[in-house]
């Protein structure tokens, strides 16, 4: 796991490069030479925060007025057959 550092100016110029670097580890964004922010993959953030990934229902509930959203997806009736390699 590597740690990458971007100045605020470099981060602003190339956000995509910072996001690519965050795949390898945290990215520190400096302001006047001092670390000011950290960019992490969301999975790393959840792991550090001791949280699991939110479900779609959790996300919908977090939206203002989201509790009023009706979400009742249709059930799929799938019949799975074994593969025949004859």
- Rounded Cα–Cα distance for residues 48 and 2 (Å): 17
The answer to whether 18 and 27 have CB atoms below 8 angstroms apart is yes
More confident residue, 45 or 52: 45
pLDDT of 71 > 80? The answer is: no
As a whole number, the mean pLDDT across the chain is 86
- Residue with structure tokens 């605020």? 8
- Rounded Cα–Cα distance for residues 39 and 24 (Å): 11
pLDDT of 30 > 90? The answer is: yes
The strand order across the sheet containing 27-31 reads 4-7, 27-31, 34-39
pLDDT of residue 16: 95
The structure tokens listed for 37 are 């922010």
* pTM recorded for the entire structure: 0.57
The correct answer on CATH 3.60.110.10 for the domain covering 4-51 is: no
pLDDT of residue 6: 96
Domain boundaries, the chain: 4-51
């Amino acid at each position: 796991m590597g740690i990458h550092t971007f100045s605020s100016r470099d981060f602003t110029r190339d956000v995509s490069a910072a996001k690519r670097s965050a795949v390898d580890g945290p990215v520190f964004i400096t302001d006047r030479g001092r670390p000011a922010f950290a960019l992490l993959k969301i999975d790393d953030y959840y792991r550090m925060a001791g949280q699991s990934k939110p479900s779609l229902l959790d996300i919908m509930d977090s939206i203002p007025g989201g509790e009023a959203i009706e979400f009742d997806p249709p059930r799929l009736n799938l019949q799975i057959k074994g593969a025949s390699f004859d």
